[in-house]
Amino acid sequence: MRPYAWMAFLVVTGSAEPQARAGDAWHVEFQEGQEIAKAHGKDLLIDFGGTDWCVGCMRLKDRVLSKKAFIERAGEAFVLIDIDLPYRTPIAADRKRRYEELQERYGINSVPTVVLALADGRPYARTTYREKFQTPEAFWEHLQPLRERGRRLREQLSRASRLEGRARAETLAEGLGEVHARFIPLFYADRLAELRRLDPSDATGYLTFIDGRRALDEFQAGKDVHGAPIDVAAVEALIARAGLRGESLQEALVLRAAGEILAGEDRRALRTLAAVLDAQATRTRLDRGDFVPLDADSMAIIRRRIAEGEADPGGGVAFYYALHRILEFDLPNPYDWSCGEAFRPNIRVREVIGDRYGRALIRSTEGLQGEARARALARGLDGTFFAPRGSIREILMDLIPGLVGKEEARKLLPGEFYPRWLR
């Protein structure tokens, strides 16, 4: 089984088989690490990565996980396990098979993914690399509330075992609520079935939450970055049928906005993104920022972008700039530095928004000539992250060089554009 069908940030490095890092601090065999965890009463910290092809994996390991400051702290609470599955670097066939089985077992569809698990292997939390976690100290602080979830999980499961009836159901729901929702069907199916028997009317609210989360995951499963259009009506039906709330509702609304953009309903998509913010009020204690980690600052930025887009009634540069910034930069994305098959609506619509933005930018500068127009076009690309296709490519390759020449175009264009296209 190939680890991932879609590999962003592919790079080529050396050819030596991966070994444990920092001496014996990191174990490269899961079973060995699990046995040590059981013997010493520790949890597991499992790093799933691919360090000869994924930039995020390399950054996480180089900047955080391999550092003495992190290893010393983490080693007191966890047994550290390194599941590094390269693409080009050869490793032993039996180890590769075991790593692929572990990926499948833990439902890993993007890397880097760091999983926190009980000593018996049952996971309770997962996270990934983000720029704000790029020091050992920052990443360790980020892990603290996740560690606390593991402690509360053990406590509630132990307490539930001594209770019966409604009290047992409430305590069991509290415990399962500490677990990352995507781990529940993989590792806690027996506990979930027990809760359904104890609480058929869903007085705890947990069953509605987990069933909605599963329905949304199943809906998104298999969606391809370059696949068929997203069926907006089907997303709306899912929201109604599953009674989505909180983060599940917010994630579904982002998906709906992407579908509306693909269908050419851009202004409706902007209103849908406003609904994502309104849905923050429907969050419950079960929503912990695992999927759409919005905070007050990001919400304020997005509301400002929406207002800027709405102030451009003609669907011009300001409108598409606002739409692009929200989806590409302002709406928190847990997969910013991840590689793999996790479905990302912002990538699905990046090229479409880019072409519409480019067309609006070209129209808005038609009254200018020569260097003045070239500068206006270049300024319009600043702060964007568009694929150089369609109208964006036309601006880069034809319009600006045609107005001022290729050499001057290199000076005018934002740095992320010219090195690739105006050599």
Largest Cα separation within the chain, whole Å, is: 80
Strand segments (E) across 37-97: 43-49, 78-84
pLDDT in tens, 334-359: 788 888 877 788 888 999 999 999 99
pTM as predicted: 0.89
Q: Where are the domains of the chain?
A: 26-147, 205-318
Model pLDDT, residue 107 = 94
**Strand-pair partners of 86:** none
Strands laid side by side in the 78-84 sheet = 26-27, 78-84, 43-49, 113-117, 123-127
Span 279-305, mean pLDDT?
Answer: 93
pLDDT at 413 over 50: yes
Q: How far apart are CA 12 and CA 88, in angstroms?
A: 7
Question: Is the pLDDT at 22 greater than 50, yes or no?
Answer: no
At 56-72, the pLDDT tens digits run: 999 999 999 999 999 99
At residue 360, the pLDDT reads 97
As a CATH number, domain 26-147 is: 3.40.30.10
DSSP letter at 339? E
pLDDT for 10: 44
> For residues 387 and 153, which has the higher predicted lDDT (pLDDT)?
153
d(CA 370, CA 366): 11
In the predicted structure, residue 306 carries a pLDDT above the cut 90? yes
